[in-house]
Amino acid sequence: MESGIKRKLTESEMTAITLNAFGQSPTVIKELTDGWANAAYQVTLANGQSVIVKAAPLSDTKMMSYEQGLMKTEVEVLRLVKLVGALPVPAVYAHDNSESIVDCEYFIMEMLEGEPYNKVKDQLTEEQRNQIDYQLGVYNRQLNEIRGERFGLYAASDGSADSTWRESFHQLLLGVLADGEREGVQLPADYDSIRNEVALRLDVLDEVTEPRLVHWDLWDGNVFIKDGAVSGIIDFERALWGDPLMEHYFSHFNKTASFLKGYGIKSFTTGEQGRRALYDLYLDLIFCIECPYRQYEDRNHLQWAQNNMEQGWLRFIASSKD
């Protein structure tokens, strides 16, 4: 996805980065355009090794309130998950937030084998897709078994160790609404009505008492497939300590029977359905409200985000009647 906030690296900047990290110049630089905020490149070094370089937006770029320390989070969580051995994730080779080599934060990681799931999904048989979804369920469960000491964003440093999941998630959602108000984003209902409807349903979040590591952005585009199986998982920059039910594959976008089977869930309780309704609304709000922050130029995506928000609000309101 092309956005107006990506910090594009020049050939000379990339040379400075790879010389500093590996003592080698790049021979081939290919921009990867799938990312929504960071610029990413596949870089071939003089010795033939290929790596991925990701560059963050400039430090003074206007971002949404929940987007705190995204690149630092991605690097730290990749290292944590690699250490635990829970999922196939790329190794991190270097991370620099000093802005001394280039004027933005960047990191370098291993290039995974395979292709993003969203790009090959239509070419796979139903049996292959079911096997992959099952495998993702197993991996996602293993990831969520990693326990934390507090609720909230992974990068948060606001002393929220004693807060509940109810308080933490509520603040995340209120922050997104504040972002929308700040940019004058039109929603299907007025902001106070949305806040009031949300407040009426927060009690279901009290069921969550133990912070677990949540990827949150584990959709098809962040899953690599090789030979009909999962070969890697990327993009942990929005990771948080919270409720595993917040994971993307439990959402209205991706939920499949094979994923649920792999994860070990047969059905949702009434309370879990209520929590999932809140998480769906949160995601739909972000898709809509992030548009002016990302400076998206694709009119089709802008229209999709608006339509999805309208449908999402109707779905949220209807969920209280279930």
Q: What is the pLDDT of residues 42-101, one digit of tens each?
A: 999 999 999 999 999 998 899 999 998 999 999 999 999 999 997 999 999 999 999 999
- Token pair for residue 80? 């944590």
Average pLDDT of the segment spanning 293-307:
91
Q: What is the pLDDT of residues 185-204, one digit of tens each?
A: 999 999 999 999 999 999 99
- Token pair for residue 238? 């929005």
Quick one: DSSP state of residue 91? P
Average pLDDT of the segment spanning 137-157:
94
| CATH class of the region 115-319 | alpha beta
Q: Domain spans of the chain? A: 11-110, 115-319
Q: How confident is the model at residue 162 (pLDDT cuts 50, 70, 90)?
A: low
Q: Return the pLDDT at 295.
A: 87
Inter-CA distances, 237 with 20, 71, 154, 191, 213, Å = 24, 6, 9, 28, 12
Residues 177 and 198 sit within 8 Å (Cβ to Cβ): no
- What phi and psi, each to the nearest 5 degrees, are found at residue 241? -100, 110
Quick one: DSSP state of residue 90? P
Q: What is the pLDDT of residues 114-145, one digit of tens each?
A: 999 999 999 999 999 999 999 999 999 999 99
Q: Return the pLDDT at 163.
A: 86
Comparing 282 with 4, which gets the higher pLDDT?
Answer: 282
The 3-state DSSP class for residue 126 equals helix
- Compute the distance between CA of residue 205 and CA of residue 1 in angstroms, rounded to an integer: 33
* Enclosing H/E stretch for 7: none
**Hey, what amino acid is at 128?**
Q
Q: How confident is the model at residue 239 (pLDDT cuts 50, 70, 90)?
A: very high
Inter-CA distances, 233 with 114, 290, 307, Å = 11, 24, 29
- What phi and psi, each to the nearest 5 degrees, are found at residue 39? -85, 140
Checking if the pLDDT of 225 tops 60, the result is yes
Q: Nearest CA to 215 among 254, 164, 159?
A: 254
Q: What is the mean pLDDT of the chain?
A: 93
Q: Concatenated DSSP letters for 41-82? A: EEEEETTS-EEEEEEPPPTT----TT--SHHHHHHHHHHHHH
- CATH architecture of the domain covering 11-110: 2-Layer Sandwich (3.30)
Look up the pTM and report it: 0.94
- Token pair for residue 142? 């293993």
- Token pair for residue 24? 């080698």
Residues 248 and 217 sit within 8 Å (Cβ to Cβ): yes
Q: How many other β-carbons are positioned within 10 Å of the β-carbon of residue 41? A: 21
Q: Nearest CA to 52 among 93, 11, 84, 19?
A: 93
Q: Return the pLDDT at 2.
A: 57
